[in-house]
Amino acid sequence: MRKLVFCLALVLAGCGSTDSGSGNHVPVLSNLSLTPNGAAYMEGDGTVVVTAYIDFADAGRDIQTLWVQLPDATLIQADQDVNIATGTLTVQFEVSTTVADAFDIEFWLVDQNGDSSAHQKAEFVTSEWTSRLRAPLPLLDVVWDGQVFIAVGYGGTILTSVDGIDWVARKPVSDDVLSAVVALGSDVYAVGGAGVLLSTDHGETWTVIGRPFGFIGIAVAASTSRIVAFGTVPDLGGRLITVSEDSGDTWETWGVPWGTGDLIYRDGLFVTPSGAGVRVSTDGKQWNEIVVDNENTEWDEVIAHDDEQFFVVARDGTVFSSFDAFNWTKLSAPLTDVYLEGAAWNGTRLVLAGGVDSYQERHDGTYRPIGISSSDGGGSWNAFGIDNSYDSNGIAWGNGRFVSVGTLVVSDEGAIYSTD
């Protein structure tokens, strides 16, 4: 049985006299919270210190012990006489980070008569994601080209990694934002304020191959016969599609009245979330609008594929799937307050991740789920977190691990995490 650091932050509320009351009075434990309520896998070399804040009420004013039971059944005892009616207990203890899992820590109070409060539990999550890199500016997308991860972001940032752990900064083409990146064999395409960029050496060097006037690229996809990119013209308030059918030598560009935030090419189709559902095209020029759900009108976040089905996610976290991109089925997903912005498939597991929608929640430093994953085609989902106040903007799978790039919203720095 281990002792632990224990202190009292007494918040008096109509306590009156501090004399002990008479008779049997069962203590009441309430408003239990942990800081932090989660950690990265192997953080702190295997353990982190957690602080629990517990509001209590005790008419008998004779609390003697606070008990804490860890997931491995270890009991921690903190002895302290508390002779007030209400207050806040603050207790610190160590939690293992050697296993990536979500588990409960149990708390209860016992008074001098041996009367016990009801037991309460607080969840602690050890993330499977490990911090790999901090970058000066937010990162927006990442791709695996078969040999190397390539990440892009603000300030023209380009980073590459063979293993997703150690990263190399590459010389930017310009300081214009790079919003998205996609690979087609040895050709890697990126889009942003510099237009459409091409790398044929795994992201080490880049060439601008298309730059429509005023075009800021948002999404890009490529087939063996064409490159398709979506973008905006901020000064004119317009949206553009630009298409090349000759590997970027020439481009055809035109305006469209609808927007998007993602684009993929699979099964002979370009598919993009937009409007009340998706738009589908075989050539990037003629688009069919498919209404997925009239109740959702914001479908500009993420489109994914798991080798069998397409998946589209609405702004409110609702997930739909389709085998042909034309007929869609609504799936039950566990997160409704998270916008999902990136997707990756490893052959057995589909992972979608993003960030919370509330500004206050994004900046409060709390560990919370920001992603979901499924290994049965979306039939069931598990929620997961990555780190405190982190938004995931893009995910890729390669070399045996998932890699997430995004933003530390408190500092507005870029960050990269990966699974082991």
pLDDT along the chain (420 residues), means of 10: 36 36 76 88 87 94 94 88 90 90 91 94 89 96 98 98 98 96 96 97 97 91 96 85 95 91 96 90 96 73 92 85 96 85 96 83 74 94 87 97 95 94
Same domain, yes or no: 203 and 324: yes
Two tokens, residue 402: 């998932």
Same domain, yes or no: 159 and 288: yes
Same domain, yes or no: 160 and 102: no
Same domain, yes or no: 80 and 218: no
Q: Which of 127, 161, 190 is the last residue of a domain?
A: 127
| Domain CATH for 372 | 2.130.10.10
pTM of the model: 0.80
Two tokens, residue 123: 């969840």
Same domain, yes or no: 336 and 349: yes
Same domain, yes or no: 118 and 141: no
**Which regions of 36-177 does DSSP assign to beta strands (E)?**
38-40, 47-57, 63-69, 75-82, 86-96, 102-111, 120-127, 129-135, 139-144, 149-153, 158-161, 168-169
Same domain, yes or no: 210 and 331: yes
Same domain, yes or no: 146 and 203: yes
Q: Which of 90, 106, 127 is the last residue of a domain?
A: 127
Domain that holds residue 323: 129-419
Coil vs helix vs strand at 359 = helix
Give the number of other Cβ atoms within 10 Å of residue 241's Cβ.
23
Nearest in space to 390 (alpha carbons), one of 377, 407, 374, 373 = 407
Give me the pLDDT at residue 24, please: 67
Give me the pLDDT at residue 362, please: 67
Same domain, yes or no: 117 and 157: no
User: DSSP label at 293?
Assistant: -
298: CB partners within 8 A, 6+ apart: 314, 315, 316
Give me the pLDDT at residue 6, please: 36
Compute the distance between CA of residue 75 and CA of residue 216 in angstroms, rounded to an integer: 58
| Domain CATH for 110 | 2.60.40.10
Same domain, yes or no: 112 and 215: no
Q: Which of 70, 93, 127 is the last residue of a domain?
A: 127
Give me the pLDDT at residue 2, please: 32
Same domain, yes or no: 204 and 287: yes
Give me the pLDDT at residue 317, please: 76
Query: CA distances (Å), 391 to each of 141, 191, 381, 411, in order?
Result: 12, 21, 20, 12
Number of domains in the chain: 2
Same domain, yes or no: 104 and 136: no
